[in-house]
Structure 1
């Protein structure tokens, strides 16, 4: 009995001593909140709320107890969550030396440690510059015809002999094909399809428990990333040869452009950095667009008034082509789709594709009277301002007109569908053109209806119609 007492006393003493030694040596004022269970923190409840599209409610439970700044532990890291416009500005506008774009362990594992979301300073500017060469409006104008042709072809292939399609899967395949062809010059169908399957697995692992055990989502995602790397390395080697022989130009595609990049010492950037940014840009350039397009199809099927206005705008563009030898969409025509894009903006306000984003504190800092210790991650969330009635009148009402010369201007860092500050999404214009091109072809060529009218939205980790959005689809008969 005395031996058991001695063991228990030793264990308790060791535990108390470790807690004492781990305490900060200086007085710290952390925000209120709970770090949850050891290791997993509150990750399970957070992910469950996301799957059930109750992320705002998960936040509100904690805001009601602790205020607009609170602590938690999710996705493997202790976290300070900051809600509101001022908080968005603090996080998104912070210097990289204070709050760096260091993502959770799961995103680092899939995207790689040298992806653009992790880079700072010179390396960030270098990679961003290469990507912007292909994502800026001047470049996108050259892609419109190819994008339009590709969309038309894939729509015909998908709907041939079928009256029902899975809209979510098709939008993912469609946007992946556009990114592969236009941004990366990967035009081989077999390679593209194999990459698509692996990217689908990798993407699911981004918001998962970081448990690398056989059978887990995280484990499958890591294996998928390895296969992606194995597929892209031979493509990179071939591109290097083509660039050396002058067969291919650095301006041909993003991959070729990055292969020609030189660092501050005039040396080629490492293959690892190119691969990490290929993976990250591919995910960013197709999955977020697929989300928005799926939500557009879902919304237009459920809201006849909005659908009618979108259809009228798109048919008016077709009508203006009469008498012209014009077969493809033009850049100028996408600029005329103002109402259609306002619908997209309003959808992203109410159902933001990205729930929020993380930063990592590189040094001790503070916000709102609370300390943020070095090494902790900081999370901002879109719904904190998107659904704020002091910023948007009647925020639960779907109203695209709020983006048309609003009487109440939207303040900076309040509408953050594409982030803000230095790390504003560099693909926002690409997403706009891609969305409008696909919606134009869809509404002018087809009619559709939901198979499951009561289908709700879920997040795994991004928001999608929970049943994959099966739709009945048929060719539209245009009347003169």
Structure 2
């Protein structure tokens, strides 16, 4: 009896050791990039999510670049992964969308954003949805939106100037969410009985968190926030079916028209997932960028002066000082766009962009096996001293030279390739208009907060509180 128990124990031990060996030494028809797979199932997930307060490359990435080079393997949330901090390979991944790679996100992200979210769709369906979004947020539409964006910025700045202080992340998020929700679904928070944005706030708090779906965890609250927001969006869509919007066309109008076509490829589930992602992406990323920009301006008075000089010059060229911004004036904001690019480069709001290899791929002596995920790491590219002199120094003027050289391979704050962010122009317009309204009419002073934490996404744990006053 004892011998049988020993045999079974030995068999189990050998099986476990064999499983661990296979986990740490994955099969590959070639040479895998160097690296470690970490613990079985867990991988190196805990190290990846460990918070840090540096503006430099995330310690998890930086240490592995030092140890293994700019292309290495790891495992996150149970998934084998290739991480690239190599500008050439990162650019190659984006350019080979649909051929060698396709958009992919971990199962936890799919659960959060919806199984049919735009990031998980490919080919014709993705191009179709991208076209729908550009109808609302493409350059031509933005020309018409410019007065709305300026009006929203002026209204909120006036309101904030009457307060003792204002926390920029939350306040700018409210400003942008209200504007975007109005444009997308004609949502007016002052007239609505339900607070749509409140559900997105619960969603955001658990977005970059360890994926444990147990009541009380941030991840569970995130999923509950999504569920409530999706329920509200579905209810709004049903209301629009019954009572069409006669004042202005919005995204719901495009969706309902398309759903009624016999040959449509759109479904209500895809449309609602797209709506959710658009609302989230439009206000969360832009409000983080604006908040980071305010922190930078508070820390760099000479940059604030140069920015103010550019916008004061725009006003001085007007015949009527009370006129609103024109598209021509927006396009003349050379230093402002350089400032926005430099803000996006150093803020590194998106810590990783995921793709999946469609076949075995060889690059610089390494093989990326078919089916493996690849994470492009924009911060590592943006903070590469070979591409950016003194990469941790905030220097908008570096973009004069970068623009001449063409910076796409070394700048991917808005993605790249076929999936270059369709909201890029909208984000830049919102930031430029907000900065114009701020520096021409107001002064501001940082009164509290300003610390940053990355987990690995950008956060402001104690906020960025400023006092705004009339000039």
Fold match (TM-score > 0.5): yes
Secondary structure at 2:206's aligned position in 1? helix
Partner of 1:467: 462
Partner of 1:216: 217
Partner of 2:280: 283
CA distance in structure 1 between the aligned counterparts of 2:87 and 2:382, rounded to whole angstroms: 9
CA distance in structure 2 between the aligned counterparts of 1:235 and 1:330, rounded to whole angstroms: 34
Q: CA deviation at 1:340?
A: 1.6
CA distance in structure 1 between the aligned counterparts of 2:161 and 2:233, rounded to whole angstroms: 31
Q: CA deviation at 1:272?
A: 0.9
Q: CA deviation at 1:205?
A: 3.0
Taking the TM superposition and a 5 Å limit, the aligned residue runs for 1:61-80 are 61-80=63-82
Structure 1 30/80 Cα, relative in aligned 2: closer, same or farther at 3 Å?
Answer: same
CA distances 1:158-205 after superposition (whole Å, capped 9, x unpaired): 343x22111111111111112111233212336497221211222233
Partner of 2:290: 293
Q: CA deviation at 1:143?
A: 0.8
CA distance in structure 2 between the aligned counterparts of 1:20 and 1:36, rounded to whole angstroms: 11
Q: CA deviation at 1:287?
A: 1.1
Partner of 1:110: 112
- Report the RMSD for the aligned CA atoms in angstroms: 2.7
Partner of 1:330: 326
Q: Which moves more between the two structures, 23-32 or 291-300?
A: 23-32
Task: Decide which of 127, 130, 133 is 1:125's aligned counterpart.
Answer: 127
Question: Are the equivalent residues in 2 in contact too, given 1:177–1:192 (CA < 8 A)?
Answer: no
CA distances 1:423-448 after superposition (whole Å, capped 9, x unpaired): 11111100011101111112222211
Taking the TM superposition and a 5 Å limit, the aligned residue runs for 1:70-469 are 70-160=72-162, 162-189=163-190, 191=192, 194-243=195-244, 247=246, 252-261=249-258, 266-267=263-264, 269-323=266-320, 326-406=322-402, 409-452=405-448, 455-469=450-464
CA distance in structure 1 between the aligned counterparts of 2:27 and 2:432, rounded to whole angstroms: 56
Structure 1 12/175 Cα, relative in aligned 2: closer, same or farther at 3 Å?
Answer: same
Question: Are the equivalent residues in 2 in contact too, given 1:85–1:413 (CA < 8 A)?
Answer: yes
Ranges in structure 2 where 5+ consecutive residues have no aligned partner: none
Structure 1 100/190 Cα, relative in aligned 2: closer, same or farther at 3 Å?
Answer: farther
Q: CA deviation at 1:74?
A: 1.8
CA distance in structure 1 between the aligned counterparts of 2:346 and 2:27, rounded to whole angstroms: 44
Q: CA deviation at 1:241?
A: 3.4
Question: Are the equivalent residues in 1 in contact too, given 2:42–2:76 (CA < 8 A)?
Answer: yes
Question: Are the equivalent residues in 2 in contact too, given 1:135–1:430 (CA < 8 A)?
Answer: yes
CA distance in structure 1 between the aligned counterparts of 2:229 and 2:403, rounded to whole angstroms: 49
Structure 1 470/19 Cα, relative in aligned 2: closer, same or farther at 3 Å?
Answer: closer
CA distance in structure 1 between the aligned counterparts of 2:383 and 2:21, rounded to whole angstroms: 42
Q: Which moves more between the two structures, 103-112 or 52-61?
A: 52-61
Secondary structure at 1:261's aligned position in 2? helix
Q: How many residues align?
A: 469
TM-score, normalising length: structure 1: 0.90
Question: Are the equivalent residues in 2 in contact too, given 1:361–1:377 (CA < 8 A)?
Answer: yes
CA distance in structure 2 between the aligned counterparts of 1:214 and 1:465, rounded to whole angstroms: 25
Q: CA deviation at 1:259?
A: 3.0
Secondary structure at 1:293's aligned position in 2? helix
Q: CA deviation at 1:469?
A: 0.5
CA distance in structure 2 between the aligned counterparts of 1:121 and 1:452, rounded to whole angstroms: 47
CA distance in structure 2 between the aligned counterparts of 1:407 and 1:422, rounded to whole angstroms: 21
Q: Which moves more between the two structures, 165-174 or 364-373?
A: 364-373
CA distance in structure 2 between the aligned counterparts of 1:182 and 1:461, rounded to whole angstroms: 31
CA distances 1:254-283 after superposition (whole Å, capped 9, x unpaired): 232233336997136211101111111111
Q: CA deviation at 1:53?
A: 5.1
CA distance in structure 2 between the aligned counterparts of 1:367 and 1:217, rounded to whole angstroms: 38
Q: Which moves more between the two structures, 146-155 or 416-425?
A: 146-155
Structure 1 185/51 Cα, relative in aligned 2: closer, same or farther at 3 Å?
Answer: farther
Secondary structure at 2:405's aligned position in 1? coil
Structure 1 272/141 Cα, relative in aligned 2: closer, same or farther at 3 Å?
Answer: same
CA distance in structure 1 between the aligned counterparts of 2:423 and 2:141, rounded to whole angstroms: 12
Q: CA deviation at 1:462?
A: 3.2
Q: CA deviation at 1:151?
A: 1.9
